[in-house]
Amino acid sequence: MNITAAKRGSLSKGERKQRLRQGRVPGVIYGKGLEPVNIEVPAKAISQILLSESGLNTVIDLTIEGDAKTHTVVVDNLLRNSISRDFEHIGLHQVKKGEKITAQVPIQLIGEPREVLTAGAMLEQMLETITVHAEPQNLPVQLDVDVSQMKLGDVLHVSDLPHNANLEFSTSDDTAIAALHYSKTAQSAEADADAAAATVADAASAAAAAAPASE
């Protein structure tokens, strides 16, 4: 994604508010061996980043007005107004060639176990995102995990996620991602059935005990 920003100087509180009303969001570029550069980014460009396939993990080719150099950056932080949700500040991390970054990647469960339909089971996802370390070009949009072959009692762990030598997870391999177990409704129905069966058995035993003995 290509974005053009403008350099800016220090802003007073009033100037900052005026810029924001004009759709110009204050920001800064920083990175290893780089002096921080104060910039302004169009609010529309930030919206495009959020709506893109990779969202905040999007690799951006940033140019600054009056400078022919292109900066390869990723969004490091984004500040939004807690009420209006308008953008208030953006921090961009410049990435050097070969440098790894840390990002949150969503985990997507693919398919549906047969037991969910036939045995009243429930698929529970315990981990929806995972922290990964990778070069920007190797960051996946999401990590897909096939759950269609899961059986009751099965648990998927981080070790089951698709990965390669270019991707490093910060979460331990034995951390649970998803589990397939009986739903509360199914457990309640089973408990009711057991209780009913026990009641019938008790009634039968009581009836047998009360019956007169044969001569």
**Digit-coded pLDDT (tens) for 130-143:** 999 999 889 899 99
∠ CA 63-49-73, nearest 5°, is 40
pLDDT score recorded for residue 211: 56
pTM: 0.72
Q: Which is nearest to 143 in space by CA: 120, 119, 121, 159?
A: 159
Alpha-carbon span 26 to 155, nearest angstrom? 45
pLDDT score recorded for residue 205: 57
Q: Which is nearest to 108 in space by CA: 84, 140, 65?
A: 140
DSSP label of 12? -
| Phi, psi (deg, nearest 5) at residue 180 | -110, 120
Our measurement of the distance from residue 76's CA atom to the centroid of its chain's CA atoms, rounded to an integer in Å, reads 16
The structure tokens listed for 64 are: 């600054």
Strand 34-42 relative to strand 2-7, pairing: antiparallel
The domains found in the chain, sorted by start residue, are 2-98 (2.40.240.10), 102-187 (2.170.120.20)
Q: Which is nearest to 30 in space by CA: 41, 22, 38, 19?
A: 38
Alpha-carbon span 29 to 135, nearest angstrom? 18
Q: Please check the confidence at residue 10 and state whether its pLDDT lies above 90.
A: no
Q: Please check the confidence at residue 180 and state whether its pLDDT lies above 50.
A: yes
The structure tokens listed for 14 are: 């009033």
**Digit-coded pLDDT (tens) for 187-209:** 444 444 444 444 544 545 555 55
User: Cα separations (Å) of 178 from 84, 141, 161?
Assistant: 35, 20, 11
Alpha-carbon span 99 to 136, nearest angstrom? 8
Alpha-carbon span 61 to 189, nearest angstrom? 57
Query: Is 98 exposed, middle or buried, given 0-12, 13-18 or 19+ CB atoms closer than 10 A?
Result: exposed
Q: Which is nearest to 63 in space by CA: 43, 37, 35, 87?
A: 37
**Digit-coded pLDDT (tens) for 69-79:** 899 999 999 99
